[in-house]
Structure formats: structure tokens, C-alpha cells
Amino acid sequence: QVQLVESGGGLVQAGGSLRLSCAETRVFYSINFMGWYRQAPGEQRELVARIIKGGTTEYDDSVKGRFTLSRDNDKHTMYLQMDRLKPEDTATYYCSIQGLADYYSDRVRDFWGQGTQVTVSA
């Protein structure tokens, strides 16, 4: 079953903004960390931003100061606000949650969204 559904990707000119959303289709029993990753053609999937236990948010240097990761706990949705976008931000963006799906889960698992395409034109 689908666990995470992403939206908000699209085409935008350099300097523009997009907000990605990652909706959890179910309530997770527990979450260890959650974040956003991206993968450009021919590149490895890389961490963009994440929230870890303790409330610390980490950002890749390439997006620091431009991207903001947040989560609405009531809506069970995480967001990635992307401002001052650059062509090099072009990639497929994935949200990810590591945790327990439900009370009956026997181990921690990684959950991924299907990915949403972000294209930034010069």
C-alpha cells in the first residue's frame, strides 16, 4: 500500500519558489526521522533536508538558506519550501520516513514516496 504521497513539483524559472508536500496516507506508529532527498540524472540520491529526533533540522549545504523543511503533525504532512531555486536544483525529489508503520510492526522500516519532479529553468 502507498504510504507517502508527494505533490508540488513542477516547472519553475530560476529564482522562483515551490512547496513540496508529502502526505502520509496512514498514521505511523512512530517516526525516527523524516526528510527529503533528491536525485538528478546520472547522480546519486542525496539528502536535501531532514528532521531527526530532538527536533534538529539538517540541510545540505547546497540548499541551506533557501529550503525549509517542516512538518504539520496534525495533518500528518511534511513540507519542503524551496525558495530562490536554481537550475542545479533540478531533480526528482523524494520524501522519506523511517519508523514503525503500526503497533504490529516488528521492525523499523524506510518508507518512500514515489518522487516528484522539480525542474528549474534558467
The separation between the first and the last C-alpha atoms of the chain, rounded to the nearest angstrom, is 38
Cα–Cα nearest to 91, from 55, 22, 43, 56: 43
pLDDT at 105: 86
Percent of the chain's residues with pLDDT above 90: 76
Rounded CA gap, 57 and 117, in Å? 23
User: Each residue of 58-70: pLDDT tens digit?
Assistant: 999 999 999 999 9
